[in-house]
């Protein structure tokens, strides 16, 4: 950008027409203009208020006459004697332009950011505008620079009509109107200057764009990993926090692309999501979600914070210029901004609770980075609020760059945000690594439990003369506590069989180990006792105090070759005989009380009678609509003497949720041969749910 020749002269020939013979202002004379550009600097005539006649070139604008004064264009009117002024203002500048040789003599002006809405007049003719004036104002916060052609006139008055929107809570007093000096030059030169300035702006945003690219990648990775494991809520929180940073940048880019105030309301919602994402990210990374009261308070505060941002978004789209609206809108803005400002310190509260726990290096790094970022943000926001009344400029100082690298300004906030991003990535990596290690250990535990359970489930059943026996075992995805055994008796009761089926509370390796204890003890007790009630009492004595608050239900039944069936239950569902439950007295599960007696019931089985024993996984099969399989279906199913495999498949098709174990015994006719049939399907380990 070059200025070929620039001079300022008192108003004389050639003169811009005025209504008075007395020179009304200085004329900025620029010689040989066309191949370069020149700043329209120096003093401008300025007047608050609004009058369409001030666009005319002959309008009187002498300093001190009818309220006209002189301001420069390199800073706002708020910094030049009109602090916190919102409303209309006019700028006027008399120009004498001499085109350079070899140029067509057509000129244009480059107008930098003007706060907020403006129109450009050249010799009384409107040549362009940016935004919309009341009663339907439309303006862009921190909008881009624009170029406007002013034709080939050599002498004239450049008039700028400006409207400043009512001030918001974070606005200082030194705002309004010009913020930088405009340029004038040939059309091509002005276009080139704008290109250079736009490139310089893009170059100054390189670091920010790169940082937001990292935010975007982390957000996408977080969403992808969360979709694969919906229980890892920290990933969703990280995605929300990082995605909000990217959304803020995209909204700003959209505003610059279409010159519309698209981000004013939407950015409030994005900032709310960013706040809540940060809170929950810290809650999970510091393992504070295990504190119910703190987690509940975080949820309530998140609702309040989001509600405040929603109200702020609604206020942003209202017409603040309307005299009936402005007072209460500004009051509401201050109130809800105060709420948001107070909630900004909540990350420090979470860090306070986190410090009471043992933190590793990654979490210490995160705590330090969050503290620095939160303090800088809170101080900047707090000092900005009402700064036009306090005249405190600490918020602006916190936004000043500490150094510049390749055109990129590095402010304390930028450095703190970069440090925080590095800390988040480091802490998230550590958390994911810990989760993967725990998941791997849990899967190994489940694999061990599954293998142990497979050993405890009989692969073959002993033959019992006069009976046809079927069994089925269908595990769910989790390792459950179902078990069943058929133990041949010896001695006086040789030829008889103990049949037991049960379910241990809990899942995983602990349940499998309890099952192994029950099965081993039952087999040992069967060598010295043949009574189901005595065996259950002995099992209960061994299990009491060893189940850490858990329990086990069990049914033991002694079948003799003569058809005599003696059965005792420890809190388990009674066996079904031909579709009806055998009448038995209620009893406690194993492991509840140290000394518990279990009563026995006896029935004589006739030819064709059908006994069914099962665990609650069969009864509690459930459809996707929540409908239970239930006792009625169970009775109907066993009334037609369904075998174990068929009963299990019916429940699985209905909707399996837990391990299903079924054992059926049918009394055969004298001419039939005894049979056993086992149907076991072991599911592969898929990890903990």
β partners of residue 108: 149, 185
DSSP state at residue 260 = S
Q: Distance between CA 685 and CA 451 in Å, rounded? A: 10
Residue 288 — very low, low, confident or very high, per pLDDT cuts 50/70/90? very high
Tens digits of per-residue pLDDT, 505-552? 877 767 778 888 888 899 899 888 889 999 999 999 999 888 888 899
pTM: 0.62
The predicted structure's pLDDT at residue 127: 94
Q: Distance between CA 533 and CA 531 in Å, rounded? A: 6
Cβ atoms of 240 and 282 closer than 8 Å:
no
The predicted structure's pLDDT at residue 687: 36
Q: Is 576 exposed, middle or buried (0-12, 13-18, 19+ CB in 10 A)?
A: buried
Percent residues over pLDDT 70 in the chain: 86
Tens digits of per-residue pLDDT, 551-590? 999 999 999 988 999 999 999 999 999 999 999 988 999 9
Nearest to 462 by CA among 484, 440, 429: 484
User: Does pLDDT of 13 surpass 80?
Assistant: no
User: Does pLDDT of 652 surpass 80?
Assistant: yes
Q: Distance between CA 322 and CA 307 in Å, rounded? A: 25
Nearest to 628 by CA among 639, 645, 616: 616
Residue 456 — very low, low, confident or very high, per pLDDT cuts 50/70/90? low
Q: Are strands 408-410 and 403-405 parallel, antiparallel or unpaired?
A: antiparallel
Q: Which residue has the higher pLDDT, 493 or 504?
A: 504
Q: Distance between CA 526 and CA 532 in Å, rounded? A: 9
- Angle among Cα 248, 412, 172 to the nearest 5 degrees reads 70
Looking up tokens 């901004």 gives: 337
> Taking the CB of residue 24, how many other CB atoms lie within 10 A of it?
25
Q: Tokens standing for 598?
A: 């279990």
Residue 144 — very low, low, confident or very high, per pLDDT cuts 50/70/90? confident
Q: Distance between CA 391 and CA 559 in Å, rounded? A: 95
Nearest to 494 by CA among 452, 526, 457: 526
Listing DSSP states for 526-571 in one string gives TTT---HHHHHHHHHHHHTTSSTT--EEEEEEEE-TTSEEEEEEEB
- Angle among Cα 286, 287, 288 to the nearest 5 degrees reads 90
**487 Rama sector, left if φ>0, alpha if ψ -120 to 50, beta otherwise:** beta
Q: Which residues have CB under 8 Å from 613's CB, separation 6+?
A: 484, 499, 501, 555, 557, 575, 662, 663, 664, 665
> Taking the CB of residue 156, how many other CB atoms lie within 10 A of it?
22
Q: Which residues have CB under 8 Å from 526's CB, separation 6+?
A: 487, 489, 498, 535
Q: Distance between CA 381 and CA 66 in Å, rounded? A: 40
The predicted structure's pLDDT at residue 110: 95
Residue 40 — very low, low, confident or very high, per pLDDT cuts 50/70/90? very high
The predicted structure's pLDDT at residue 53: 94
Decide: helix, strand or coil at residue 30: strand
Q: Distance between CA 204 and CA 198 in Å, rounded? A: 10
- Angle among Cα 495, 501, 503 to the nearest 5 degrees reads 160
């Amino acid at each position: 950008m070059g200025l070929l020749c620039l001079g300022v002269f008192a108003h004389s020939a050639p003169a811009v027409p005025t209504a008075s013979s007395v020179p009304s202002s200085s004329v900025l004379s620029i010689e040989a203009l066309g191949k370069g550009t020149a700043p329209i600097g120096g003093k401008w005539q300025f007047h608050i208020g609004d009058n369409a006649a001030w666009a005319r070139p002959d309008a009187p604008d002498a300093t001190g006459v009818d309220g006209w004064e002189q301001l420069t264009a390199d800073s706002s009117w708020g910094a030049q004697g009109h602090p916190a002024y919102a409303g209309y203002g006019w700028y006027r500048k008399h120009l004498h332009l001499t085109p350079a040789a070899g140029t067509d003599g057509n000129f244009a002006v480059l107008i930098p950011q003007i706060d907020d809405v403006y129109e450009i007049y050249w010799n009384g003719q409107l040549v362009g505008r940016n935004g919309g004036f009341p009663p339907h104002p439309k303006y862009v916060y921190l909008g881009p620079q624009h170029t406007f052609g002013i034709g080939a006139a050599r002498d004239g008055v450049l008039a700028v009509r400006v409207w400043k929107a009512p001030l918001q809570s974070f606005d200082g007093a030194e705002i309004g109107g010009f913020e930088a000096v405009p340029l004038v030059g040939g059309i091509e030169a002005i276009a080139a200057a704008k290109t250079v300035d736009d490139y310089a702006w893009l170059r100054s945003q390189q670091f920010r764009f790169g940082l937001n690219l990292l935010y975007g990648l982390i957000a996408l990775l977080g969403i992808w990993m969360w979709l694969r494991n919906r229980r890892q809520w920290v990933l969703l929180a990280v995605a929300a926090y990082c995605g909000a940073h990217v959304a803020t940048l995209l909204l700003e880019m959209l505003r610059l692309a279409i010159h519309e105030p698209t981000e004013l309301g939407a950015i409030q919602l994005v900032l709310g999501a960013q706040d809540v994402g940060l809170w929950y990210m810290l809650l999970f990374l510091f393992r504070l979600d295990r504190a119910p009261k703190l987690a509940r308070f975080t949820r309530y505060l998140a609702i309040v914070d989001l509600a405040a941002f929603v109200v702020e978004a609604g206020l942003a789209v209202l017409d603040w210029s309307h005299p009936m609206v402005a007072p209460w809108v500004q009051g509401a803005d201050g109130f809800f901004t105060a709420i948001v400002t107070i909630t900004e310190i909540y990350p420090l509260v979470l860090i306070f609770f986190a410090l009471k726990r043992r933190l590793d290096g990654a979490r210490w790094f995160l705590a330090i980075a969050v503290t620095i970022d939160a303090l800088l943000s809170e101080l900047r926001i707090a000092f900005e609020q009402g700064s036009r009344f306090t005249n405190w400029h600490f918020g602006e100082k916190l936004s000043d760059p500490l150094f510049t690298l390749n055109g990129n300004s590095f402010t304390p906030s930028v450095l703190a945000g970069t440090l925080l991003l590095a800390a988040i990535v480091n802490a998230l990596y550590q958390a994911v690594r810990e989760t993967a290690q725990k998941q791997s250990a849990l899967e190994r535990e489940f694999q061990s439990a599954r293998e142990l359970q497979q050993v405890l489930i009989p692969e073959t059943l002993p033959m019992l003369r006069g009976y046809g026996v079927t069994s089925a075992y269908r595990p769910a995805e989790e390792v459950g506590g179902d078990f069943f055994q058929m133990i041949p008796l010896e001695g006086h009761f040789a030829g008889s069989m103990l049949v037991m089926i049960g379910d241990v509370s809990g899942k995983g390796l602990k349940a499998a180990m309890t099952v192994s204890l029950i099965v081993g003890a039952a087999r040992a007790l069967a060598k010295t006792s043949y009574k189901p009630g005595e065996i259950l009492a002995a099992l209960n004595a061994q299990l009491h105090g060893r189940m850490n608050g858990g329990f086990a239900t069990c049914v033991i039944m002694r079948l003799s070759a003569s058809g005599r069936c003696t059965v005792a239950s420890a809190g388990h569902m009674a066996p079904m005989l031909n579709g009806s439950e055998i009448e038995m007295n209620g009893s406690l599960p194993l492991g509840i009380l140290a000394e518990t007696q279990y009563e026995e019931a006896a029935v004589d089985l006739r030819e064709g009678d059908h006994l069914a024993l099962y665990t609650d996984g069969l009864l509690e099969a459930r459809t996707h609509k929540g409908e239970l399989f239930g006792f009625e279906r169970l009775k109907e199913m066993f009334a037609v003497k369904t075998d174990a495999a068929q009963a299990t498949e019916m429940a699985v098709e209905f909707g399996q949720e837990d391990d299903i174990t079924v054992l059926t015994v049918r009394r055969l006719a004298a001419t039939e041969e005894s049979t056993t049939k086992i149907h076991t399907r072991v599911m592969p380990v898929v990890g903990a749910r």
